[in-house]
Chain A
Amino acid sequence: MAKMNGKERMLMALSCGQPDRVPVWELAFNEESIIKIARLFTDDVPPVKLVHQMDLNERIRLLDTLYMIARKLELDGLTSIHLFNTLAIDDEHIRDDWGRVYFVGKEGEAIPVQGPVSEPGDLKNLKIVHPLEQEFMMLMLSIDRLGKDVAHVFHINGPFRESWAMLGSIEKLLYYYKKKPGLARDLARIGTEYVLESVDKAADLGADAIALVSDLAFNQSTMMSPAHYEEFLLPYHVEINALAHKRGMKVIKHSDGNLWPIMDKMVESGFDGMHPIQPQCMDIAQVKAKYGGRCCLLGNIDCEQLLPFGSEEEVDTTVKETIAAAAPGGGYIISSSNTVHPGCKGENYVALVKAARKYGTYPIQIDA
């Protein structure tokens, strides 16, 4: 088979086809992770700092460091993050244009803790926010720096996350699914409108795929019942997937946890890929057996224990086993089981990429 570029590999796999080799991609690298991996290649790295504390020049320097890693490791795709317009409240909290307050942990993840809505009446006074051009700065820079030979994935929070962020609490939204379904539907609609605008904007700027991010499950099961998924999320997922496809983009759904109770419906909604098939609660061989050929699988390399605490040899073994289980016939993209967070060893991430190249050439020749 002729050698493909990264973008061709990613798009082929997302179409459930078989590229020349298993593509390598990540949903995200945190700030500290970028620095840790970059230090394996150069001493010229920026200081560790969270994005929301950086000025524009510092952001660009950090992103250029990420692009250097992408080139050195020949990553097939890169995810650009929606850099929300936010205002710092104190060292640990920021506020976005909706009025949602986030706690920003040491690892850089911003988690909504307070929202502008608690009762249906609050919707009347809610100021509707639209995505701003400058919030797509990373996507524009990524395309400019890396060109179109790699797949550009744009990270958008899904309607579940957008809905609960308005309330500042997942539990409140899940409670309202049963007690105030009208408010839950209104929040899903508002969130979906924002997502649709973001999808359109990402397409205008040249993204190849969307990563629709919001956790719908935990290790044991889904957070919501299958009936609530069908009522409060499925129609919106269908709508988002339809627009992305119309605009020529693929859609990767990211959710941690055990998604089995809603997997059929999620695949039916039109997602092209499912990430990250968390190894603690979903067996990728079983997922492949049931959905292979209908939906691309992404991820599954454990970032809870293996990448933070394992050895490079153990990473090599896991990558080999995962490729043997998930890659035959195509439709698999390798990545960590969530993101390369600051707890992961940089050396182990490089070992993951190297092992993917060692074992991931098609046709796959590993005994399962």
Chain B
Amino acid sequence: MSTLLDDIKKAVREGEEDTVKDLVSSALAEKIQPRTILEQAMMPAMQEIGEQFSRSEAFISELLCAAEAMHAGIEILKPHFTGAIKNKGRVILGTVEGDIHTIGKNLVKICLESAGYEVLDIGENINAQAFAEAYIREKPDVLGMSALLSTTAVYMKDAIKAVRAVDPAARIIVGGAPITRAFADQIGASGYALNAFDSIQLVSRLLK
């Protein structure tokens, strides 16, 4: 059993989508529990690639391919779960008004999903009101805002204000190239992550 799980882990890490599908099917045929496959092979693989990424030993291509491979494996697993796949919490992510850069937000999504969170991407160029409406509609445990430009990062303050008007205790995290911890504190964010991988720890801490 451990060899098969090791092989799945390796295939996810290397972004080998087709191999992952085959190996996950073989594992299910050998009566390995779907949760075991997910939690002992696929999630640790993403954890490893995420850690390598945060140390600049892996790059965006590797992270994207590993995420694709993991999703491919999850599609095979899904029908075998008796209930819904339990997640650690619900996060919504969006890029702020005037900014349509996607890459930072998408990397955070990959990292959080691979760590077991349900992530809803509400897109780019999201203004304060739309963040507040999404918060009311989706009732997330954490709301994340991304900005790549210093000209758009300033809109985070308005967006945080709008969400806090709905729920003063809302957990709101911010990130992006121009964002610093001092800026995050200044605009009233609940937390800030330096990079995509660090967002896992941040969300985990906020949900404790």
Q: Are B100 and A105 in contact (CB under 8 A)?
A: yes
When distances are taken between beta carbons in the complex, the residues of chain B under 8 Å from A219 are 177
Q: Are B60 and A224 in contact (CB under 8 A)?
A: yes
Fill in one digit per residue for B7-28: 1 if any A CB lies within 8 Å of its CB, else 0. Answer: 0000000010000000000000
When distances are taken between beta carbons in the complex, the residues of chain A under 8 Å from B58 are 225
Expressed in whole angstroms, the minimum distance between the Cβ of B145 and any Cβ of chain A is: 16
Interface stretch of the complex, out of A44-52, A62-70, A146-154, A169-177? A169-177
Cα separation A293 to B180 with both chains bound (whole Å): 33
Fill in one digit per residue for B172-208: 1 if any A CB lies within 8 Å of its CB, else 0. Answer: 0000011010000000000000110000000000000
Residue B89 is within 8 A (CB to CB) of chain A in the complex: no
Expressed in whole angstroms, the minimum distance between the Cβ of A176 and any Cβ of chain B is: 9
Residue B113 is within 8 A (CB to CB) of chain A in the complex: no
Cα separation A113 to B99 with both chains bound (whole Å): 12
Choose among A105, A220, A223, A342 the residue that contacts B195 (Cβ–Cβ < 8 A): A220
When distances are taken between beta carbons in the complex, the residues of chain B under 8 Å from A304 are 150, 177-178
Q: Are A221 and B150 in contact (CB under 8 A)?
A: no
When distances are taken between beta carbons in the complex, the residues of chain A under 8 Å from B194 are 220
Residue B44 is within 8 A (CB to CB) of chain A in the complex: no
Cα separation A174 to B15 with both chains bound (whole Å): 13
Output the nearest chain A residue to B195 by Cβ-Cβ distance: A220
Q: Are B177 and A303 in contact (CB under 8 A)?
A: no
Choose among A113, A177, A218 the residue that contacts B104 (Cβ–Cβ < 8 A): A218
Q: Are A342 and B151 in contact (CB under 8 A)?
A: yes
Cα separation A223 to B194 with both chains bound (whole Å): 16
Given contacts A106-B98, A178-B65, A219-B177, contact A341 B59 (CB under 8 A): no
Choose among A175, A261, A341 the residue that contacts B149 (Cβ–Cβ < 8 A): A341
Q: Are B195 and A103 in contact (CB under 8 A)?
A: no
Q: Are B61 and A224 in contact (CB under 8 A)?
A: yes
When distances are taken between beta carbons in the complex, the residues of chain B under 8 Å from A261 are 56
Q: For chain A, which range describes its interface: under 10, 10 to 19, 20 to 34, or 35 or more residues?
A: 20 to 34
Q: Are A343 and B61 in contact (CB under 8 A)?
A: no
Fill in one digit per residue for A210-252: 1 if any B CB lies within 8 Å of its CB, else 0. Answer: 0000000011111111001000000000000000000000000
B 77-126 contacts with A by CB, 8 A:
98-104, 106, 125
Residue A308 is within 8 A (CB to CB) of chain B in the complex: yes
Residue A111 is within 8 A (CB to CB) of chain B in the complex: yes
Specify the main secondary structure of chain B where it touches its partner.
loop
Residue A305 is within 8 A (CB to CB) of chain B in the complex: yes
A 72-122 contacts with B by CB, 8 A:
103, 105-107, 109, 111, 113
Q: Are B65 and A175 in contact (CB under 8 A)?
A: yes
Cα separation A228 to B56 with both chains bound (whole Å): 14
When distances are taken between beta carbons in the complex, the residues of chain B under 8 Å from A178 are 15, 61-62, 64-65
Expressed in whole angstroms, the minimum distance between the Cβ of A295 and any Cβ of chain B is: 22
Expressed in whole angstroms, the minimum distance between the Cβ of A14 and any Cβ of chain B is: 27
Cα separation A228 to B100 with both chains bound (whole Å): 26
When distances are taken between beta carbons in the complex, the residues of chain A under 8 Å from B99 are 105
Q: Are B100 and A103 in contact (CB under 8 A)?
A: yes
Expressed in whole angstroms, the minimum distance between the Cβ of B198 and any Cβ of chain A is: 10
Given contacts A341-B151, A342-B151, contact A174 B100 (CB under 8 A): no
Output the nearest chain A residue to B100 by Cβ-Cβ distance: A103
Cα separation A228 to B61 with both chains bound (whole Å): 9
Cα separation A163 to B15 with both chains bound (whole Å): 23
Residue B134 is within 8 A (CB to CB) of chain A in the complex: no
Output the nearest chain B residue to A280 by Cβ-Cβ distance: B177
When distances are taken between beta carbons in the complex, the residues of chain A under 8 Å from B72 are none
When distances are taken between beta carbons in the complex, the residues of chain A under 8 Å from B102 are 169, 171
Shortest beta-carbon contacts, A-B, top 7? A221-B56, A343-B151, A225-B59, A304-B150, A304-B178, A178-B61, A103-B100
Q: Name A residues whose Cβ lies closer than 8 Å to a Cβ of B.
A: 103, 105-107, 109, 111, 113, 169-171, 174-175, 177-179, 218-225, 228, 256, 261, 280, 303-305, 308, 341-343
19 residue pairs from A and B, CB less than 8 Å apart: A107-B151, A111-B101, A113-B100, A170-B103, A171-B60, A171-B102, A174-B60, A174-B64, A178-B62, A178-B64, A218-B103, A218-B104, A218-B177, A224-B59, A224-B60, A225-B61, A305-B178, A308-B151, A343-B151
